[in-house]
Amino acid sequence: MFELKKVIGGLLMPLPVALIVIFLLLLFVSKTKVKSYSLCMLSVVFLWVISTPHFADYWITPKERALKHFVHTQHKQVDYIVVLGGGLSPNSNLQANLQLSNSSLVRLIEGARLANIYPNAKLIMSGAGYTPAMTTSHLMSQTAQSLGISANRIQLNSKARDTESEARDLAPTLVDSTVILVTSASHMRRAQDLFSAQGIDTIASPVEFYNYDTTPIYKRFTASSAVLLSITRYTHEWVGNQWIKLRRALDSGSV
């Protein structure tokens, strides 16, 4: 009964309902234009498939397993902990932590955890925002201080608008230092690549794992907007990596 309730509940979410309705409506559409009709049906089926935990497990889990988890006992001395921002939703009526996206918040928590393990390390918050006065780095700094991190340990990189500019801006500070890089698992490969291109060797501390391999069987084949979001994020990273390869192919010193 529990599994049946979860299956029905999952099917009643906006994405599955929309896809089911579109599929049913297509059954009543004139089939005189076979190619167009077939493409529409395939598009609906395709969107359903890539939005299931089963597909996400196939595509994302191998990438997550390839990442090395940070083990603090293997690194005795750390100079800097760099936390890359992952977005914000500004609202001056809310506390700083409530204005951070989920990605920014989970990255910040890991950064604060590491800062407690390495009390002599500087904590760099990186990320721009919509205005110079309202940035991801400022909000992460305020949240870190509310969690007990001293303000004099925190440095801000609030002008960088993408990972490439973050690496470029921080290079003068980080080159030849022991640096832990904190970002989402989906973003880590590209981030480390761009930091390495600036001469910065980083130790990965990835966060925000999806762990689709542990999804119960009764949820594996139901389309989910949350799964579609994770697929979108990994697709974004794939496109970003291809863009880097193209730029390097055209100009080896560009990135």
Name the residue range of residue 15's domain: 2-64+218-250
pLDDT tens figures, 190-242: 999 999 999 999 999 999 999 999 999 999 999 999 999 999 999 999 999 99
| In a shared domain, residues 133 and 182 | yes
| In a shared domain, residues 76 and 124 | yes
166, part of any domain = yes
| In a shared domain, residues 97 and 154 | yes
Q: What's the confidence (pLDDT) of residue 231?
A: 95
- At 1, the pLDDT band (50, 70, 90 cuts) reads low
| In a shared domain, residues 188 and 239 | no
| In a shared domain, residues 88 and 31 | no
CATH number of the CATH domain containing 80: 3.40.50.620
Q: 182: Cβ–Cβ under 8 A, 6 or more apart, which residues? A: 81, 82, 83, 84, 107, 110, 111, 114, 205, 206, 207
Q: What's the confidence (pLDDT) of residue 56?
A: 97
- At 36, the pLDDT band (50, 70, 90 cuts) reads confident
| In a shared domain, residues 117 and 176 | yes
pLDDT tens figures, 43-60: 899 999 999 999 999 999
The widest CA-to-CA distance across the chain, in whole angstroms, is 71
Per-residue pLDDT, averaged over 75-81, amounts to 97
Contacts 24+ apart (CB under 8 A), 157-162: 157/124, 157/125, 157/126, 157/127, 158/126, 158/127, 158/128, 158/129, 158/132, 159/128, 160/126, 160/127, 160/128, 161/128
| In a shared domain, residues 73 and 154 | yes
Per-residue pLDDT, averaged over 17-35, amounts to 79
| In a shared domain, residues 10 and 100 | no
| In a shared domain, residues 111 and 166 | yes
Mean per-residue pLDDT over the chain, rounded: 92
Nearest by Cα to 186 from 112, 238, 109, 227: 238
DSSP 220: T
213, part of any domain = no
Helix axes 225-250, 14-27, angle to 10 degrees: 90
pLDDT tens figures, 146-161: 999 999 999 999 998 8
| In a shared domain, residues 242 and 136 | no
78, part of any domain = yes
37, part of any domain = yes
255, part of any domain = no
| In a shared domain, residues 163 and 200 | yes
Q: What's the confidence (pLDDT) of residue 143?
A: 97
212, part of any domain = no
Higher pLDDT, 129 or 10: 129
pLDDT tens figures, 89-120: 999 899 999 999 999 999 999 999 999 999 99
Q: What's the confidence (pLDDT) of residue 254?
A: 79
pLDDT tens figures, 117-139: 999 999 999 999 988 889 999 99
Q: What's the confidence (pLDDT) of residue 5?
A: 63
Q: Is the pLDDT of residue 13 over 80?
A: no
- At 2, the pLDDT band (50, 70, 90 cuts) reads low
165, part of any domain = yes
| In a shared domain, residues 42 and 158 | no
111, part of any domain = yes
State how many domains the chain has: 2
